[in-house]
Amino acid sequence: MMKKLVITFVMLLTSVVIRAGEVPLLGNVLNRPTTTLNGDWNYIVDVQECGYYDYRHNKLRWGFFQNAKPKQPEDLIEYDFDKSDKMQIPSDWNTRDQRLFFYEGTVWFKRSFNYQPKPGHRTLLYFGAVNYEAIVFVNGVEVGKHVGGFTPFNFDVTEQIHEGENFVIVKVDNKRDKDNVPTLIFDWWNYGGITRDVMLVDVPQTYIENYSLQLDRNNLKQLNFSLQLNEKVAGREVSILIPELKVKRTLITDADGRIAAMLKAKPQLWSPENPKLYKVELTLDGETLADEIGFRTIETRGKQLLLNGKPIFLKGISIHEEKPNGGGRANSREDAQTLLSWAKELGCNFVRLAHYPHNEFMVREAERMGILVWSEIPVYWTISWTNEQTFANASRQLNDMIRRDQNRANVIIWSIANETPHSAERDAFLGRLARQAHEMDGTRLVSMAMEVLSAPNYHNRLQDNMNQYVDVISFNQYIGWYRDVKDASKMTWEIPYEKPVIISEFGGGAKYGLHGQKNQRWTEEFQENLYIENTAMLDKIEGLAGTTPWILKDFRSPRRVLNGIQDYYNRKGLYSDKGEKKKAFYVLKAWYEGK
Ligand code: GCU
């Protein structure tokens, strides 16, 4: 048993690229001593990036990141953050400033703040997420750069920050590019900005970087605990306390500042019916980091999916991370509670957080509410499979998604991709990601959303080389909408893999309040009928272990331009964007009641 744990740990350290100033992701930041930098930030829209490059497109030394002010009357400074507009952060600029609704490019953000660094301590600057590229400056000094719009990152700014007045400036750029992850095209709004919480985190010189505490899959009386300090120091004492389980141990770090241990305990198992969480306290040098952790096992046996050793049917729904009422990116505990309570009303015990890691509130609120989670990285449609930088980017996002949520009992599936075209290059790219996910976390399942695009003679046969890498076979099918509109009842299915099956997407669009014949597109009756026919068809699929229909609520997409119907919304929601239930809602709810 000990050998397996050590292996998992090592793999983490070698796989991701950490740039200068940036430090490995801090685990459980929500329970650490922090100073929020949320609130009003000044911003400057810089279409031609003249705050970063000169007219020869060389990097500027005296760019906007200096936050300069004229000292002499004749001084020429052609920007002034303090005279610029303000935007509430976290948010996206598209819904905060009408001029920027469609904007893709650079926007500069500045926040001044007063700070008293604790003597002998370090200060980290933490971002929940910034879409897409962030270049970060503290008091005019560049502390680092991050790409990827949906995972957290942090910089050690101890050397740059000082007593009293400080300022942080972020150059945010959400321009799309074919080599990015996601790539050039995707069916959701490219919300730009500092989209999640920003905070300063106060940590001691030597601090607990991250840790993992999981129930052993083969021994329900054993917890596997591993921990990493920020420094490679041996002999440091870390105590772990789980009062309700009478666990109280003091453990010593090895030469790499790591701990790996097995703890005897017999916890109540976390489940949707009983989302039991235990208080856990980790103490190093008198500083205690608290958390709430649940324990459960998730595994497959042939085509069965077993939660805590019992077969489970995943009554799911797909969700985009978007506030209702056209409010842009969801980013708060309240947003999470709203969206998840809508899923609960549908009768769900599972959500697919599409197509990128959602904010931590979403995952933690789901855990409290007893909702299982599928979490995914935006390897979506046709990525640059042979570009090594693109791979490093995807691998990094996978790493950070797992490292942020590895202690969440409700997260059961890591998804590495959605609707990707078959090719040897794609298989190689995704195969490496699947291996990485399994090596980093041997306690959860790996999947991806495959596709079944056609049914000669009404026979749907799934064939995908990636079947060998994933634990659960998931695929999207749009019978009734993109194909075979009238033929659901004639369909037969063949999924030639001895693994559980999840239908990760099915569905169709309807404009809330539009009524008519059931063969009339965009009416609620059309969508209702599609759900009636699809759920009856799905009942015939052998090994069906769950579904996550597309989608909880209508969401914004630049690909949906049908005036009077779509108006830049994908209308496949079971709820309108205002939370109004469409007729199909009741079809799915009834079907789940029967499961
Ligand atoms: C695809 C895709 C979704 C998209 C949906 C649709 O399957 O995965 O991101 O929104 O279809 O067409 O509505």
Confidence (pTM): 0.96
Q: What is the DSSP code (8-state) at residue 28?
A: -
Smallest CA separation from ligand 1 atom 10, residue: 187
- Ligand 1 centroid distance, CA of 569 (Å): 12
- Ligand 1 centroid distance, CA of 332 (Å): 25
pLDDT reported for residue 17: 52
Integer Cα distance of 405 and 444 in angstroms: 12
Strand order across the beta sheet in which 133-138 lies: 86-89, 39-45, 106-115, 164-173, 133-138, 141-147
Q: Is the CB of 397 under 6 A from ligand 1?
A: no
φ/ψ (deg, to 5) at 300: -120, 150
Listed in order, strand segments (DSSP E) in 92-163 are: 106-115, 121-127, 133-138, 141-147, 153-156
Smallest CA separation from ligand 1 atom 12, residue: 187
Q: Is the CB of 396 under 6 A from ligand 1?
A: no
φ/ψ (deg, to 5) at 298: -135, 130
Instruction: Retrieve residue 177's tokens.
Output: 């590019």
Contacts of 388 (CB under 8 A, 6+ apart): none
From residue 510, alpha-carbon distances to 263, 341, 490, 571 in Å are 52, 22, 24, 6
Q: Which atom of ligand 1 is nearest to the CA of 449?
A: 8
- Ligand 1 centroid distance, CA of 403 (Å): 27
Q: Which atom of ligand 1 is nearest to the CA of 476?
A: 7
The answer to whether residues 240 and 282 touch, using CB atoms and an 8 Å cutoff, is yes
Q: Which atom of ligand 1 is nearest to the CA of 481?
A: 12
- Ligand 1 centroid distance, CA of 555 (Å): 11
pLDDT reported for residue 456: 80
- How many CB atoms are closer than 10 A to CB 183? 18
Q: Is the CB of 505 under 6 A from ligand 1?
A: yes
pLDDT reported for residue 244: 98
Smallest CA separation from ligand 1 atom 3, residue: 187
Q: Is the CB of 174 under 6 A from ligand 1?
A: no
Q: Is the CB of 318 under 6 A from ligand 1?
A: no
Rounded CA Rg of the chain: 25
Q: Which atom of ligand 1 is nearest to the CA of 505?
A: 7
Q: Is the CB of 451 under 6 A from ligand 1?
A: no
Beta pairing partners, 42: 86, 110
Per-residue pLDDT of the chain in tens (595 residues, 90 and over written 9) = 334 444 444 444 444 555 558 999 999 999 999 999 999 999 999 999 999 999 999 999 999 999 999 999 999 999 999 999 999 999 999 999 999 999 999 999 999 999 999 999 999 999 999 999 999 999 999 999 999 999 999 999 999 999 999 999 999 999 999 999 999 999 999 999 999 999 999 999 999 999 999 999 999 999 999 999 999 999 999 999 999 999 999 999 999 999 999 999 999 999 999 999 999 999 999 999 999 999 999 999 999 999 999 999 999 999 999 999 888 999 999 999 999 999 999 999 999 999 999 999 999 999 999 999 999 999 999 999 999 999 999 999 999 999 999 999 999 999 999 999 999 999 999 999 999 999 999 999 999 999 987 788 899 999 999 999 999 999 999 999 998 778 899 999 999 999 999 999 999 999 999 999 999 999 999 999 999 999 999 999 999 999 999 999 999 999 999 999 999 999 999 999 999 999 999 999 999 999 9
Instruction: Retrieve residue 353's tokens.
Output: 């957080």
- Ligand 1 centroid distance, CA of 549 (Å): 11
* Residue 271, CA atoms < 13 Å, CB-side half-sphere: 15
Q: To 5 degrees, how large is the angle CA 41–CA 159–CA 229?
A: 100
pLDDT reported for residue 16: 54
Least Cα distance to 276 among 297, 290, 294 occurs for 294
Q: Is the CB of 418 under 6 A from ligand 1?
A: yes
Beta pairing partners, 141: 138
Tokens 């039991």 map to which residue?
Answer: 276
Q: What share of the chain is helix, strand, coil (3-state, %, to 5)?
A: 20, 35, 45
Integer Cα distance of 123 and 155 in angstroms: 9
pLDDT reported for residue 452: 85
Q: Is the CB of 367 under 6 A from ligand 1?
A: no
Q: What is the DSSP code (8-state) at residue 171?
A: E
Least Cα distance to 445 among 550, 350, 519 occurs for 350
Contacts of 30 (CB under 8 A, 6+ apart): 360, 364
pLDDT reported for residue 18: 55
Residue 323 three-state SS: coil
Least Cα distance to 113 among 92, 139, 89 occurs for 139
The answer to whether residues 17 and 145 touch, using CB atoms and an 8 Å cutoff, is no
pLDDT reported for residue 20: 54
Mutate to test the pocket of ligand 1, among 187, 448, 483, 554 (most ligand atoms within 8 A of CB): 187
Q: Is the CB of 550 under 6 A from ligand 1?
A: yes
Ordered DSSP codes for 226-280: EEEESS--SS-EEEEEEGGGTEEEEEE--TTSEEEEEEE--PPPP-SS----EEE
- Ligand 1 centroid distance, CA of 463 (Å): 20
- Ligand 1 centroid distance, CA of 478 (Å): 9
Strand order across the beta sheet in which 198-204 lies: 22-23, 153-156, 121-127, 198-204, 34-36
φ/ψ (deg, to 5) at 12: -55, -55
- How many CB atoms are closer than 10 A to CB 489? 10
